[in-house]
Amino acid sequence: MLKIPVSVLELAIVNEGSNAKEGIENSVKIAQQADELNYSRIWYAEHHNMPHIASSATALLIQLAALNTKKIRVGSGGIMLPNHSPLVIAEQFGTLETLYPGRIDLGLGRAPGTDQLTAHALRRDHLKNAQNFPQEVEELMNYFNPKNPDSKVNAFPGKGLDVPVWILGSSTDSAYLAAQMGLPYAFATHFAPNQFHPAINIYRNHFQPSEYLEKPYMMACINAIVAETDDEAHYISSSYFNMIINLVTGNTGRGLLPAGELSELISVPEIQNAVNSMTTYSFIGSKETVQTKLEKFIADTEIDEIMVTSHIHDLETKLESFKIVSELFN
């Protein structure tokens, strides 16, 4: 039995031939099951201009998931802060915390979650905001600070509320920032594995205790696809691998494909190497196989929490995978 908390990352994936409404409805069902299975939290990721991802209005999906669950923490994995005014995010998450007290997390990232043209459409001075990310994080957190009586601009709801802030990252820059600010740190191991070990070492070695956190708290997001047998798990994971192939080759217009044969493009050495790199921390197999791999991963990294994302086409199969994963931790 694995002794650390386990959580879920959702993107409201749209299947090939389906639509955003069904993708969002499926994400709510996943949140409800995660709630019943005692997952610690479910986070929604902000992406834009991607037809197969329906989580662009991230705060709305958080509200929907919180409304339809009872106790699980619900949050952002993350809000891409350079896309937004810090005040608007403070008001949104202040509202969420007011409606669902003690259940809201605010994970913040620096990347746009999209291409640069779309980032510019989201917020005209996006590049400048990305460079000022540390200052914008501090500004946002100040809107929650009750000890700021002279401020002429305040977030209502928001001011005085306890909304835990996390720094999200896929590079070492974010590790330095999380450490300097004394905040919990969540790393995108599921798509940026090469930076993972340097980032967690930087975070732990440079961590400065704060009013928010006395010692480092590190969460790693991984891919997990679990089934009754290794063969079945590897078969259903073909949807995930074809999604990565499409991402690597720039073919992002397609939805998540049903399980089946891998794209012929996997035979191209450059594409195969890129796919293998991105899927380094993908835990695929039976319950016993994945448990063994996760035990080693947790022992090697000494992380404090696991967050699981699972790109599986069939909803019932995906729910079953999350159920098996929960049995490894509870």
Structure confidence at residue 65 as a pLDDT band (50, 70, 90): very high
Q: State the average pLDDT for the chain.
A: 94
Predicted pLDDT of residue 30: 98
137 DSSP 8-state letter: H
CA distance 109 to 44: 12
The pLDDT tens digits of the residues spanning 4-49 come to 999 999 999 999 999 999 999 999 999 999 999 999 999 999 998 8
Over residues 85-89, the mean pLDDT reads: 96
Task: Name residue 15's beta-bridge partners.
Answer: 256
Over residues 94-100, the mean pLDDT reads: 98
Structure confidence at residue 148 as a pLDDT band (50, 70, 90): confident
CB atoms within 10 A of CB 266: 17
**Is the model more confident about 252 or about 314?**
314
Predicted pLDDT of residue 76: 98
The pLDDT tens digits of the residues spanning 195-209 come to 999 999 999 999 999
89, 81 Cβ separation under 8 angstroms: yes
Among the listed residues 151, 158, 34, 146, the one whose alpha carbon sits nearest the alpha carbon of residue 106: 158
The pLDDT tens digits of the residues spanning 254-309 come to 889 999 999 999 999 999 999 999 999 999 999 999 999 999 999 999 999 999 99
Predicted pLDDT of residue 127: 64
Tell me phi and psi for residue 22, to 5 degrees: -65, -40
- Cα–Cα distances (Å) from 100 to 41, 56, 241, 275, in that order, read 13, 21, 36, 39
Predicted pLDDT of residue 200: 97
Write down the domain spans for the chain: 6-230+287-329
Q: CA geometry: angle at 200 spanning 50 and 248, to 5°?
A: 30
Predicted pLDDT of residue 50: 86
Helix (H, G, I), strand (E, B) or coil at 126: helix
CA distance 151 to 218: 33
* Burial status of residue 205 (CB atoms within 10 A of its CB: 0-12, 13-18, 19 or more): exposed
107, 140 Cβ separation under 8 angstroms: no
- Cα–Cα distances (Å) from 189 to 45, 69, 169, 303, 310, in that order, read 14, 27, 9, 12, 13
Q: CA geometry: angle at 123 spanning 122 and 129, to 5°?
A: 130
CB atoms within 10 A of CB 45: 25
The pLDDT tens digits of the residues spanning 152-206 come to 899 999 999 999 999 999 999 999 999 999 999 999 999 999 999 999 999 999 9
Among the listed residues 70, 282, 107, 50, the one whose alpha carbon sits nearest the alpha carbon of residue 189: 282
The pLDDT tens digits of the residues spanning 103-129 come to 999 999 998 766 777 777 876 676 666
Among the listed residues 171, 226, 176, 162, the one whose alpha carbon sits nearest the alpha carbon of residue 194: 171
Least confident of 16-25, 48-57, 134-143: 48-57
77, 131 Cβ separation under 8 angstroms: no
187, 220 Cβ separation under 8 angstroms: yes
Helix (H, G, I), strand (E, B) or coil at 166: strand
CB atoms within 10 A of CB 162: 11
Helix (H, G, I), strand (E, B) or coil at 282: strand
Q: How many residues does the chain have?
A: 330
What is the distance, to the nearest Å, from the Cα of residue 253 to the centroid of all Cα atoms in its chain? 21
Q: CA geometry: angle at 294 spanning 292 and 297, to 5°?
A: 115
CA distance 117 to 113: 11
CA distance 78 to 3: 25
Domain 6-230+287-329 has CATH 3.40.50.720: no
Helix (H, G, I), strand (E, B) or coil at 228: coil
Question: Who contacts 41 (Cβ-Cβ below 8 Å, separation ≥6)?
Answer: 7, 8, 72, 73, 74, 75, 105, 307
